[in-house]
Structure 1
């Protein structure tokens, strides 16, 4: 999936780094955006105060809670020609909504890890509004793993630099 240059000669590249909470979307997305010279957006930064309060109270968001948020994220993707968005995008319908934009279709990188590995990461976190095993279980229960046609899986059981390298390789290796 090699990005196509736009008319000005610069790369037109929209990337969504997806996965359950604790999979490393934010840190991987930041590093990836820096390596690509792209804008980084963290979907969590655009939740409404009501959604943040719900999650902080341990209540999973509904599709209704997410609707306006997903539309806002799609609009933000559309406004940038070089952007990396870190977003859970757990359901196929969410990913379709994010990819239904004008311009270059986003490439989705799926940060894939086991429940136990991600649980350990979350237990080590401090100062993040996402708390509780029930929330993690809810994320895994909601997750509709993307098909190979929809996203490129990235194994997260490696150091951050190796995960970012795998992401960069996935973006520059033509499909077979």
Structure 2
């Protein structure tokens, strides 16, 4: 990519944001921030109990991610965030206008299987339906790309880097 952007790796739980994010950051030569680390303890407790977050829960979390992205403006970085709704992405863009989004997409059965296989994560597979119900894919006017999560993490990362480079060339 010609200019260092902050890339927000987005998608429903289980798409591999935490796996692909660090690989993408390494490929781009920029730092990575795990979006889950920005959640306040109350959000983690709520999700651990199987209760979906509401917008009031998400605003402080998104603001913290947005501040990190703002601080990385011109330097580049990769951060994970479900960013499921347009309004969430708008909030992130308000803090970091040059941010671009990498939407990790995939077949529900694959994502559910991956969620069931992970160990020690606070987001239970039971909340996947609420994630898909909330998801608003990137709009044509949003700076970002969608990449399918089938294949190995390395294959997904290669596709992501190529898609982001094409996006950068078109901007």
- Relative to the length of structure 2, the TM-score reads 0.92
* Corresponding residue of 1:141: 133
Q: State whether structure 2 residue 92 is matched by structure 1 residue 98.
A: yes
Which residue number in structure 2 is paired with residue 116 of structure 1? Answer: 109
Deviates more, 1:47-56 or 1:156-165: 156-165
1:90·1:144 contact (CA, 8 Å) conserved in 2? yes
* TM-align CA RMSD: 1.4
Q: CA deviation at 1:101?
A: 2.6
Of 79, 82, 104, 2:76 maps to 82
* Cα distance between partner residues in 2 of 1:32 and 1:114: 21
Query: Relative to total residues, which structure has the larger helix share, 1 or 2?
Result: 2
Q: Distance in 1 between matches of 2:87 and 2:116?
A: 29
Report the equivalent of 2:162.
Answer: 169
Q: Equivalent residue for 1:40? A: 32
Unaligned runs of 5+ in 1: 5-11
Aligned position for 1:64: 56
Cα-to-partner distance string for 1:101-158 (whole Å, 9 max, x where unaligned): 35x611111001121110010111111111132x000000011111243220101112
Report if the CA contact (8 A) 2:112-2:125 is conserved. no
Does the residue aligned with 2:26 lie in a helix, a strand or coil?
Answer: helix
Gap regions ≥5 residues in structure 2: none
Rg larger in 1 or in 2?
A: 1
CA contact (8 A) 1:73 1:98 kept: yes
Comparing 147-156 with 108-117, greater Cα deviation is found at 147-156
**Secondary structure of the structure 2 residue equivalent to 1:84:** strand
Q: Which stretches of structure 1, 4 residues or more, deviate above 6 A after TM superposition?
A: none
TM-score by structure 1 length?
A: 0.89
Conserved 8 A contact 1:20-1:90: yes
Cα distance, 1:175 vs. partner? 2.5
Asked whether the 8 Å contact 1:70–1:94 carries over to 2, the reply is yes
* Structure 1 position 171, deviation (Å): 1.8
